[in-house]
């Protein structure tokens, strides 16, 4: 106990009740000397166990009840009630490249006298030389006394921009009509947010907003407690609020400390900085010190649009509209780089946890993402996170800690949206009371989302579940672009007034203009470690080969860049060809959706991750098929005169080509991916056509009994084709028919269909599936008509369907026109769906394994000269119209018969109508006397390979070719007749007539002529008996031809000579420059010898 203190060096004891007793004896020291940093006790015990300053607690103030971190000392803002944290401060010495403001700020020297007030006191623009007279640019006004130029939009905006304040003088007061959620002051020229009414603060200049304020209970006698935590105004906490009867208290999250006012939570650690994009520069503005500097500058003609930052690698990212790229700069070294090219975005956002960067594409209606560490190497390494029915997405903010993202849509129906950061679980957060929400900001401590509305001129906020919506209409919100929230303030960039402003986030009061420059501000972010808190990254252990996106389930989802898709292990990205996918075809676009990306839940909005292929050159698609190996899309459009082919060399490089010309409207098409033949149903009445690869040869395959024919399907490995026809004589409904792909063996496999809508082969091609719109069912049957199975039933509004790779897809249409796309495993009853607003034309399923196998035409065109048509026994060679089959494989050109003759089915003779069914066979195959077609047309298929001599264009060459008047030879690829003496012509068809010399010669000639006549008569009679021909008044024409070189124009002329009513045609779209062979020309028109 120390009743008295003996002062060192003094003999007089001092009475001090609070004296400290030294540990080594009876010596005591004064209370103020205890823990003052100077040892007073001989053993130094008065300085033992004392508090020492730290980074987090550098000063204790307010009677040691408050601890101030070092970053708050001398920051220009009093954090202690006794203001000791701002006492004894020495003005910071500015660097050689900085200007020292009178207010103590340091701004970049380049900002001195640049026409913008960068110092808080405006001292950086004082004493600057002003040329007289100063010519202001268009859109600027001259200050009355100082002579400065300021934008006209700054006139009467409530903030003095001229040094003399003349831009705010003489401003007219206009009668203002207050809108919803506003309260009109008594004088009639002011409107304030209605929540400012009776909040204890005077906001109207006449004080009318606080007149007559009271709050009674329902009994009208007693006062009721106010829940300050749900009220706007002074009583609101910037973070956590706890309401108690008659009062409330505020609390702060880790990384923040409560200010002396008991309301605002202030960040600890380094000073928060505001990053602002202004024209071609990015500025850093200290929110406490006001220190301003340029952190990056680009070319003057480039605009820094949206921006964001990453503190892990200390980089700033920005959207460069001029180069259509997202670029970055290292804040430490100044090194710059390009993250991705070929994009245009209104907003970018950094996922600091999952290490990705997201951006919106308002034109394409997409949200995309790429790795933060990606480096542009000429190949896109980004993925489409969301696509489909996004209606002009604009502002985007991320919440990686929860795996969520939020964005605004400013299209036909403005709304705020929320989704998992992997694109799943998308839903509408808010769709009412919005105009153009162009700027979004998240306030993580309060779990609220803020937005600024350009159309309504308001600031709104809501909880992250869409509840507790609060809107403040503020007159200074005119054209906001970007926003950010920090501590108790809301910051935003204002393009119309070229400024960055702030207000209290809870009340909308205390508006301050932080920056005002000669240039439009765009992107804006507050940079501080506490705003990007660290947490475990689920993607670190996911093992994704390319991209990993966070999800709302606190997991990482592997995703792939364009051109790759996820393998079965769900971590490795493989080339697209290694995965099954569906083609969803709308009238003017094709979407490629990989089956692994189909959502495993019902009710998803819009398409799952996919690749979209817009077809701007087509009017309206009606049918498609796809060759996986060649990456070629075959398509037909309404009203088109051809089937087109679009080859996707790589995504983004397309090759258009006309595959085959058609007559009439194509209703269905199918590709034989083994032979390359293209089949289609077209014309009226319907005909099934087939064309060789590249559309070089074509013919009508089936034309009888095809009323209502539709939904053509092929199984090339089984050489089988199936289609749907109207029941006709079979009764009401439709019939599912099949045949070999050469048209033979046609049969009905199911006669009880009502309204089939789609036809497809499943598995190895042994089963046939179809959907029935009228019955609402999906059924299947074996190709022989056995083992019928009902796959699905009760599908109301069934429209389209597809089957393949063990998956089943179908669509149902609702009364409002929207479509649900259903998908399910074929062997499972459970199914899911997603909503699609686009109209669908058809859907197909493919994979690299679905188009394998072989058939009789898979190799070398089966040895056929023109068309090779597979069948279960092998193949059948066929020739296009105007040609006839020679030796089962080759084709010879046949000229048309002259009017009024007609060709025999074997194209080897011309006969008159009277010779048909006259009891005598006039055609070589006797087909003119038979009800059945000739063997060359519909006989048994040729399955043996052709000999080496059976090549394209091979024709007979014998004495009969030369009309029995010479020898036939093939010279230089052409048929040549060496005529006997006395004959001439290409086929020795003309007799030579020469004058005779003298009577002797004349007599000899007469004798010879008589002898020749006798021999000729005898030969004629023998030939007549052998052929058993009757007399005919019509001359018979031989269809004998020979080779010669020609050009495409002559080929076109040849095609134009085809009978106008022919049910087949030669393809006009064939490109003659590709392997054009020697064409065959017509023989003379007056030959009367028939080829035997």
DSSP state of 218: T
Q: What is the pLDDT of residues 228-287, one digit of tens each?
A: 676 644 446 888 888 777 678 888 988 898 888 788 899 988 999 999 999 899 999 999
pTM of the model: 0.51
Collapsing DSSP to helix, strand or coil, 978 comes out as: strand
My answer on whether 45 and 77 are in the same domain is: no
Is residue 48 predicted with pLDDT exceeding 90? no
My answer on whether 806 and 937 are in the same domain is: no
Q: What is the pLDDT of residue 517?
A: 83
Is residue 486 predicted with pLDDT exceeding 90? yes
Is residue 881 predicted with pLDDT exceeding 50? yes
Q: What is the pLDDT of residue 975?
A: 60
Q: What is the pLDDT of residue 1032?
A: 33
**Partners of 691 in the beta sheet?**
678, 698
* CATH of residue 18: 4.10.400.10
Cα 282 to Cα 316: distance, rounded to the nearest angstrom: 9
CA distances for 734 relative to 572, 753, 754, 912, angstroms: 46, 5, 6, 40
For residue 247, is it within any domain? no
| Phi, psi (rounded to 5 degrees) for 823 | -145, 150
Is residue 862 predicted with pLDDT exceeding 80? yes
Q: Quickly state the pLDDT bin for 649 (edges 50, 70, 90).
A: low
Report which of residues 959 and 628 the model is more confident about: 628
Long-range CB contacts for residues 344-347, cutoff 8 Å, separation at least 24: 344/319, 345/305, 345/306, 345/319, 346/305, 346/306, 346/393, 346/394, 346/395, 347/306, 347/319, 347/394, 347/395, 347/396, 347/407, 347/482
Half-sphere exposure of 143 (CA within 13 A, CB side): 18
Q: Quickly state the pLDDT bin for 964 (edges 50, 70, 90).
A: low
Q: Quickly state the pLDDT bin for 1091 (edges 50, 70, 90).
A: very low
My answer on whether 588 and 531 are in the same domain is: no
Query: Residues of the chain with pLDDT > 70: what percent?
Result: 78
- Helix or strand (DSSP H, E) at 778: strand 777-782
Cα 335 to Cα 238: distance, rounded to the nearest angstrom: 38
Q: What is the pLDDT of residue 1085?
A: 31
Q: What is the pLDDT of residues 494-509, one digit of tens each?
A: 998 889 999 999 888 8
* CATH of residue 77: 4.10.400
My answer on whether 612 and 721 are in the same domain is: yes
My answer on whether 402 and 447 are in the same domain is: yes
* CATH of residue 657: 2.120.10.30
Burial class (CB in 10 A: 0-12, 13-18, 19+), 1033: exposed
User: Chain centroid to CA 1059: how far?
Assistant: 49
DSSP state of 933: P
Cα 507 to Cα 209: distance, rounded to the nearest angstrom: 14
Q: Which of 578-592, 950-964, 1069-1083 has the lowest mean pLDDT?
A: 1069-1083
Q: Which of 76-80, 185-189, 644-648, 845-849 has the lowest mean pLDDT?
A: 185-189
Q: Which two tokens stand for residue 992?
A: 């030579």
Structurally, the chain folds into a number of domains equal to: 5
Is residue 421 predicted with pLDDT exceeding 90? yes
Q: Which two tokens stand for residue 1081?
A: 């020309």
Q: What is the pLDDT of residue 16?
A: 63
For residue 573, is it within any domain? no
For residue 202, is it within any domain? no
My answer on whether 16 and 81 are in the same domain is: no
User: Chain centroid to CA 771: how far?
Assistant: 30
Sign, Cα dihedral of 529, 532, 533, 538: negative
For residue 118, is it within any domain? no
| Phi, psi (rounded to 5 degrees) for 154 | -85, -10
Q: What is the pLDDT of residue 328?
A: 96
For residue 474, is it within any domain? yes
Is residue 988 within 8 Å of 962, Cβ to Cβ? yes
Q: How many Cβ atoms sit within 10 Å of the Cβ of residue 92?
A: 14
Q: Which of 90-104, 885-899, 932-946 has the lowest mean pLDDT?
A: 932-946
My answer on whether 42 and 66 are in the same domain is: no
Is residue 60 within 8 Å of 66, Cβ to Cβ? yes
Q: What is the pLDDT of residue 861?
A: 94
Collapsing DSSP to helix, strand or coil, 460 comes out as: strand
Q: Quickly state the pLDDT bin for 992 (edges 50, 70, 90).
A: low
Domain that holds residue 63: 58-88
My answer on whether 17 and 73 are in the same domain is: no
My answer on whether 742 and 620 are in the same domain is: yes
My answer on whether 906 and 787 are in the same domain is: no
Compute the residue count for the chain. Answer: 1092
Cα 275 to Cα 278: distance, rounded to the nearest angstrom: 10
For residue 245, is it within any domain? no
CA distances for 722 relative to 693, 695, 699, 743, 805, angstroms: 21, 22, 18, 10, 20
| Phi, psi (rounded to 5 degrees) for 1023 | -65, -35
For residue 313, is it within any domain? yes
For residue 684, is it within any domain? yes
My answer on whether 42 and 65 are in the same domain is: no
Cα 298 to Cα 586: distance, rounded to the nearest angstrom: 43
Output the average pLDDT for the chain.
79
State the average pLDDT over residues 870-880: 95
Q: What is the pLDDT of residue 216?
A: 63
Is residue 1030 predicted with pLDDT exceeding 50? no
Q: Quickly state the pLDDT bin for 217 (edges 50, 70, 90).
A: low
Q: Which of 135-144, 474-483, 1045-1054 has the lowest mean pLDDT?
A: 1045-1054
My answer on whether 340 and 418 are in the same domain is: yes
């Amino acid at each position: 106990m120390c009743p008295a203190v003996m002062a060192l060096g003094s003999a007089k004891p001092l009475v001090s009740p609070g004296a400290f007793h030294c540990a080594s004896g009876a010596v005591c020291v004064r209370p103020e000397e205890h823990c003052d940093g100077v040892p007073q006790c001989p053993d130094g015990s008065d300085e033992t166990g004392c508090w020492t300053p730290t980074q987090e607690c550098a000063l204790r103030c307010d009677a040691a009840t408050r601890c101030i971190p070092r970053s708050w000392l001398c920051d220009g803002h009093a954090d202690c009630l006794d203001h000791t944290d701002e006492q004894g401060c020495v003005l910071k010495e500015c660097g050689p490249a900085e200007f020292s403001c009178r207010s103590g700020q340091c701004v970049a020297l380049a900002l001195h006298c640049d026409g913008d007030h960068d110092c808080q006191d405006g001292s950086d623009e004082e004493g600057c030389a002003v040329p007289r007279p100063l010519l202001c640019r268009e859109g600027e006004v001259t200050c009355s006394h100082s002579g400065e130029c300021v934008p006209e939009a700054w006139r009467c905006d409530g903030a003095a921009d001229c040094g003399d304040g003349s831009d705010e003088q003489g401003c007219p007061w206009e009668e203002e009509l207050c809108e919803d959620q506003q309260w009109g002051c008594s004088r009639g020229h002011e409107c304030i947010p209605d929540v400012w009414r009776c909040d204890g603060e005077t906001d109207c200049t006449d004080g009318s907003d606080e007149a007559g304020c009271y709050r009674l209970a329902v009994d009208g006698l007693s006062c009721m407690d106010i829940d300050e935590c749900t009220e706007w105004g002074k009583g609101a906490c910037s973070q956590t609020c706890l309401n108690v009867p008659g009062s409330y208290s505020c609390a702060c999250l880790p990384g923040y400390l409560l200010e002396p006012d008991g309301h605002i939570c202030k960040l600890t650690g380094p000073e928060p900085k505001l990053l602002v994009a202004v024209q071609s520069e990015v500025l850093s503005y200290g929110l406490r010190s006001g220190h301003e500097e340029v952190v990056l500058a680009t070319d003057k003609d480039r605009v820094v649009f949206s921006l964001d930052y990453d503190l892990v690698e200390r980089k700033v990212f920005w959207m460069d509209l001029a180069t259509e790229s997202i670029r970055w700069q290292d804040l430490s070294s100044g090194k710059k780089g390009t993250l991705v090219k070929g994009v245009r975005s209104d907003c970018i956002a950094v996922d600091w946890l999952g290490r990705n960067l997201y951006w919106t594409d308002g034109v394409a209606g997409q949200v995309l993402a790429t790795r933060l560490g990606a480096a542009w190497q000429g190949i896109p390494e980004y993925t489409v996170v969301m696509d489909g029915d996004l209606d002009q997405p604009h502002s985007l903010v991320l919440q990686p800690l929860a795996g969520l993202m939020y964005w605004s849509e400013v299209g036909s129906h403005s709304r705020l949206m929320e989704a998992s950061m992997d694109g799943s679980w998308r839903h509408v957060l808010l769709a009412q009371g919005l105009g153009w929400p162009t700027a979004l900001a998240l306030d993580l401590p309060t779990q609220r989302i803020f937005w600024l509305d350009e159309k309504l001129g308001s600031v709104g906020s809501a909880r992250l579940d869409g509840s507790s919506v609060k809107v403040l209409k503020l007159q200074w919100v005119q054209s906001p672009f970007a926003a950010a929230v920090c501590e108790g303030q809301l910051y935003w960039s204002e393009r119309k007034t070229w400024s960055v402003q702030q207000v209290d986030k809870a009340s909308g009061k205390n508006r301050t203009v932080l920056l005002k420059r000669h240039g439009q501000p765009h992107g804006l972010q507050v940079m501080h470690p506490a705003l990007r808190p660290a947490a475990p990254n689920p993607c670190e252990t996911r093992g994704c080969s390319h991209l990993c996106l966070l999800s709302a389930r606190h997991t990482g989802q592997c995703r792939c860049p364009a051109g790759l898709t996820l393998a079965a292990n769900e971590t490795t990205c493989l080339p697209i060809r290694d995965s099954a996918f569906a083609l969803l075809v709308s009238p003017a676009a094709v979407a490629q959706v990989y089956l692994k990306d189909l959502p495993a839940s019902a009710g998803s909005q819009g398409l799952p991750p996919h690749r979209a292929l817009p077809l701007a050159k087509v009017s309206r698609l009606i049918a498609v098929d796809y060759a996986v190996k060649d990456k070629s899309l075959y398509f037909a459009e309404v009203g088109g005169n051809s089937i087109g082919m679009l080859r996707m060399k790589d995504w983004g490089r397309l090759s258009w080509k006309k595959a085959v010309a058609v007559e009439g409207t194509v209703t269905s098409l199918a590709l034989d991916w083994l032979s390359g033949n293209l089949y289609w149903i077209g014309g009226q009445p319907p005909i099934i056509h087939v064309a060789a690869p590249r559309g070089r040869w074509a013919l009508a395959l089936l034309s009888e009994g095809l009323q209502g024919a539709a939904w053509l399907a092929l199984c090339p490995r089984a050489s089988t084709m199936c289609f749907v026809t109207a029941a006709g004589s079979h009764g009401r409904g439709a019939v599912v028919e099949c045949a070999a792909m050469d048209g033979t063996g046609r049969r009905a496999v199911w006669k009880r269909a009502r309204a089939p809508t789609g036809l497809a082969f499943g598995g190895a091609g042994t089963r046939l599936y179809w959907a029935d719109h009228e019955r609402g069912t999906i059924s299947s049957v074996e190709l022989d008509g056995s083992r019928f199975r009902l796959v699905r039933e009760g599908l109301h509004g069934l429209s389209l369907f597809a089957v393949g790779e063990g998956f089943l897809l179908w669509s149902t249409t609702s009364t409002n026109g929207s479509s649900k796309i259903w998908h399910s495993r074929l062997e499972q009853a459970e199914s899911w769906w997603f909503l699609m607003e686009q109209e669908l034309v058809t859907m197909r399923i493919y994979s690299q394994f679905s188009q394998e196998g072989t058939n009789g035409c898979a190799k070398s065109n089966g040895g056929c000269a023109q068309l090779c048509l597979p069948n279960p026994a092998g193949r059948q060679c066929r020739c296009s119209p105007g040609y006839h089959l020679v030796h089962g494989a080759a084709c010879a050109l046949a000229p048309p018969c002259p009017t009024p003759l007609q060709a025999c089915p074997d194209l080897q003779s011309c006969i008159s109508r009277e010779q048909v069914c006259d009891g005598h066979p006039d055609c070589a195959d006797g087909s003119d006397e038979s009800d059945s077609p000739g063997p060359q047309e519909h006989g048994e298929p040729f399955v043996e390979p052709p000999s080496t001599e059976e090549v394209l264009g091979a024709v007979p060459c014998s004495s009969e070719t030369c009309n029995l008047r010479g020898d036939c030879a093939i010279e230089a690829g052409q048929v040549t007749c060496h005529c006997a003496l006395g004959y001439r012509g290409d086929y020795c068809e003309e007799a030579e007539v020469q004058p005779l010399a003298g009577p002797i010669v004349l007599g000899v000639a007469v004798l010879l002529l008589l002898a020749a006549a006798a021999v000729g008569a005898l030969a004629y009679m023998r030939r007549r008996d052998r052929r058993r021909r009757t007399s005919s008044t019509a001359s018979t024409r031989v269809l004998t031809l020979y080779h010669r070189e020609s050009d495409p124009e002559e080929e076109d002329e040849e095609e134009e000579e085809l009978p106008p009513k022919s049910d087949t045609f030669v393809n006009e779209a064939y490109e003659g420059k590709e392997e054009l062979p020697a064409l065959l020309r017509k023989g003379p028109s007056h030959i009367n010898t028939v080829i035997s």
